[in-house]
Amino acid sequence: MTTILFHKPFGVLSQFTDARSPTERPTLSAYIDMPSVYPAGRLDRDSEGLLVLTDDGRLQARLTQPRSKTPKTYWAQVEGTPTPDQLTALQNGVTLKDGPTRPAKARLITPDVPPRDPPIRVRKSIPDAWIELTITEGRNRQVRRMCAHVGLPCLRLIRRSVGDWTLNDLPPGTWRHA
Active-site positions read: 44
One-letter amino acid at 140 equals: N
DSSP state, residue 166:
E
* Residues facing 159 on adjacent strands: 49, 74
Between CA 43 and CA 119 the distance in angstroms is 18
Q: Rounded to an integer, what is the distance from CA 38 to the centroid of its chain?
A: 17
* Of the candidates 56, 2, 50, 8, the residue with the CA atom closest to the CA atom of residue 29: 8
* Helix, strand and coil in the chain, % to nearest 5: 15, 30, 50
> From residue 76, how far is each of 36, 37, 55, 62, 159 by CA, in Å?
31, 28, 29, 25, 9
